[in-house]
């Protein structure tokens, strides 16, 4: 299985790449800075240079050709302004979904955000972020050629993962270690029965594999 991850040098992506490569998958991470390549190789992933903020759908579809799974884990990041919330968190996510559909990639995972809502009100940068993520999620749901799953983690922390989570359609607010987000994504990739679900994720009391099987109805 070949898996291509947008935002390949991100805090979630590097963790996910290590997990997937350890499971024997062929993993590629899209980055725009060639100096990040060694970090991806150390994580067991192939770096692919591409700036999703300026790329065309056709170019990204070429990168995705032959992939079995596409994961959008890119983000403008803390400290970025309204403009990059739009160009990365919305526009790049939309482009990546369109490119995946064009390349006939069946499985697509979107790393979204708890509270993402295209109709979210407010004028702060975080309000724009939640609207951008919501609009990207809404667009993905219209891509009939994709078997998509949208994951909406709570507040991300650098604490060591516990492997225990709460994964439901509606969890309420809370936090989740980055390690556990990556672990859930790895399980979702291996669980196609979660296609069509929008899931919220927090720290909890259920082992990751059990939590994913539960939402998949297994």
pLDDT of residue 129: 92
pLDDT grade for 74, boundaries at 50, 70 and 90: very high
The string of pLDDT tens digits covering residues 168-202 is 999 999 999 999 999 999 999 999 999 999 999 99
pLDDT of residue 18: 98
Cα torsion 118, 14, 49, 79: sign: positive
Catalytic pick from 72, 96, 128, 129?
A: 129
Residue 61 pLDDT > 90: yes
Residue 25 a catalytic site member: no
CA angle 169, 84, 133 (to 5 degrees): 15
pLDDT grade for 77, boundaries at 50, 70 and 90: confident
Residue 76 pLDDT > 90: no
User: CA dist 81 to 21, 49, 52, 65, Å?
Assistant: 34, 24, 17, 32
Q: What is the mean pLDDT of the chain?
A: 96
pLDDT of residue 81: 84
* Greatest C-alpha distance within the chain: 45
Residue 82 pLDDT > 90: no
pTM: 0.95
pLDDT of residue 78: 73
Structure tokens at 4: 């291509």
pLDDT of residue 107: 98
Overall average pLDDT of the 65-72 stretch: 98
Residue 79 pLDDT > 80: no
pLDDT-above-70 percentage for the chain: 100
pLDDT of residue 123: 86
Residue 68 pLDDT > 90: yes
């Amino acid at each position: 299985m070949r898996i291509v991850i947008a935002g390949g040098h991100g805090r979630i992506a590097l963790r996910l790449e290590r997990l997937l490569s350890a499971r024997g998958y062929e993993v590629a991470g899209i980055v725009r800075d060639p100096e990040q390549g060694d970090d991806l190789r150390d994580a067991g992933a192939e770096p692919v240079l591409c700036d999703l903020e300026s790329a065309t759908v056709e170019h990204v579809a070429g990168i995705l050709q032959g992939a079995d799974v596409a994961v959008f884990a890119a983000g403008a990041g803390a400290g970025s302004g309204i403009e990059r919330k739009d160009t990365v968190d919305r526009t790049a996510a939309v482009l990546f979904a369109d490119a995946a559909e064009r390349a006939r990639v069946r499985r697509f995972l979107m790393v979204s955000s708890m509270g993402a809502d295209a109709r979210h009100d407010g004028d702060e940068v975080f309000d724009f972020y939640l609207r951008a993520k919501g609009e990207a999620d809404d667009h993905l749901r219209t891509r009939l050629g994709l078997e998509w799953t949208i994951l909406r983690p709570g507040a991300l922390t650098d604490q060591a993962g516990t492997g225990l989570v709460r994964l439901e359609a509606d969890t309420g607010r809370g936090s989740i270690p980055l390690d556990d987000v990556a672990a859930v994504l790895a399980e979702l990739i291996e669980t196609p029965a979660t296609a069509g679900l929008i899931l919220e994720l927090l720290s909890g009391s259920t082992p990751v594999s059990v939590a994913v099987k539960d939402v998949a109805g297994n």
